[in-house]
């Protein structure tokens, strides 16, 4: 796994096992994607942390934190990226 500047090793480990490093939630909403990269958002309404992750052969190869919508991150349209399991 490739570490990034904005996630420490513990946070990377959490993401690699499908857990939000900020709140511990294990459900993510998929967002925009391109190539191997997939944006994901924690569904915990108090958290809503977003990450850009890339997997190859079932292994996370890179991850980085991206801004939440309330931090200036882009809006993910409900019709394209529905909020489910909330």
pLDDT single digits (tens) 38-73: 999 999 999 999 999 998 898 888 899 999 999 998
Looking only at the bridges linking them, the beta strands covering 37-42 and 28-34 are: antiparallel
- Looking at residue 26, its pLDDT comes to 95
pTM of structure: 0.86
Exposure of 14 in the CB half-sphere (CA atoms within 13 A) = 20
Domains of the chain, by residue range, sit at 9-71
Query: What is the full DSSP assignment across 7-64?
Result: B-HHHHHHHHTT--TTT----EEEEEEETTEEEEEE--TTT--EEEEEEETTEEEEEE
Q: pLDDT at position 5, please? A: 66
5-44: pLDDT as tens digits: 689 999 999 999 999 999 999 999 999 999 989 999 999 9
């Amino acid at each position: 796994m490739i570490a990034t500047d904005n996630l420490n090793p513990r946070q990377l480990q959490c993401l690699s096992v499908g857990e939000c490093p900020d709140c511990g939630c294990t459900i993510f909403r998929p967002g925009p994607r391109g190539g191997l990269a997939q944006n994901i958002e924690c569904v915990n309404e108090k958290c809503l942390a977003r990450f850009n992750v890339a997997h190859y052969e079932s292994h996370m190869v890179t991850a980085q934190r991206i801004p939440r919508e309330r931090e200036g991150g882009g809006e993910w349209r409900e019709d394209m990226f529905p909020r489910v399991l909330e």
